[in-house]
Structure 1
Amino acid sequence: MADIIDRLQSTDLDPELEKILDNFSSLFDIRIAYFKPNGTEYMIGKNKKISSYCEFLRERLHYKNRCLTLDKAKQYRARNSRKIQYYRCHGGCYEAIKPLYYGDELTGYIMMGQASCQKNVPDPIVQDARKAGIIPDIIEAFNDLPNFTSDKMDAVMQLFSELTDLIILKKLIKQNEQGPVKQLVDYMETVNPGINLKQAASLVHLSEDRLRHKIKEDMGRTFTELRNSICMGRACKLLIENRELSIQDIAYESGFSDPQYFSRAFKKHTGFSPSLFAANSRS
Structure 2
Amino acid sequence: MKNILKWGIFLLAILSTSTYIYTIKEMSNRNYSTSENMIYRGFLCLFIGIVVSKVKGYKIIPQNKKTQIIRFFSSGFASYFYTTSFTFLNASTIALLGRLDIAFLLILVALFSNQNENKKSSLQFWLSVWTIIIVSFVTFSGNIHNEKSLGYFYAFTSIILIALGYVFMKNSAGKENIIVLSNVFSLSNLIFGLSLFFINGEKLNFDLKDSWIFVLYAISQFGIYLLSIQLYKWYNVERARLPYVVATFVIYFLEVVLAKREFDLTQFIFLLIITGMLITIIINPKIIETKSNFLDKT
TM-score (norm 1): 0.29
- Bigger strand fraction: 1
TM-score, normalised with respect to structure 2? 0.28
* Bigger RCO of structures 1 and 2 (CA < 8 A, at least 6 apart): 2
Higher helix proportion (structure 1 or 2): 2
Q: Rg bigger for which structure?
A: 1
